[in-house]
């Protein structure tokens, strides 16, 4: 986002200008915690994002240096790799998930993810970071 387009330089405002809609955070969840990379994989998520919103949010994330777009070598196939900046959002995603589990009775998390978050979140982040580093090197 361009500086002139910002409402203010308040840290909370700047965060919300990037992450203020559910789709952006859900895409990061899918990339960081579920390993999704291709647009077709994002479209399969339970939340059922539409293609036009998906395209818009991926462009926003790319412009914000949260993801990098890469060709797969196959015709018209791309995938999106989260950047270090995206990985730095993981503690926020973890806290949001734990809050929801505590306060929303119909919350249904992936137990394997929650177990890792509760056991050793720093090690989980390090594992995700290492996986993304390997993927980036191979791309």
First to last CA, the chain: 27
SS3 99: helix
Per-residue model confidence as pLDDT tens digits over 74-128: 777 899 999 999 999 999 999 999 988 888 888 777 788 999 999 999 999 999 9
* pTM of model > 0.95: no
Say if residue 62 is exposed, middle or buried (CB neighbours under 10 Å; 0-12, 13-18, 19+).
middle
d(CA 73, CA 61): 22
Host H or E run for residue 104: none
Q: Domain 3-138: which topology? A: Arc Repressor Mutant, subunit A (1.10.10)
């Amino acid at each position: 986002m361009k500086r002139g387009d910002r409402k203010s330089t308040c840290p909370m405002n700047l965060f919300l200008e990037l992450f203020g809609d559910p789709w952006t955070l859900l895409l990061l969840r899918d990339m960081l915690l579920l390993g999704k990379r291709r647009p077709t994989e994002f479209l399969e998520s339970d939340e059922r994002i539409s293609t036009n919103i998906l395209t818009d949010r991926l462009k926003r994330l790319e412009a914000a240096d949260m993801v990098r777009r890469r060709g797969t070598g196959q015709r018209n196939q791309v995938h999106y790799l989260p950047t270090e900046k995206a990985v730095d959002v993981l503690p926020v995603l973890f806290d949001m998930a734990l809050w929801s589990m505590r306060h929303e009775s119909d919350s249904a998390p992936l137990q394997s993810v929650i177990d890792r978050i509760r056991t050793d979140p720093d090690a989980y982040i390090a594992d995700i970071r290492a996986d993304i580093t390997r993927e980036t090197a191979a791309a």
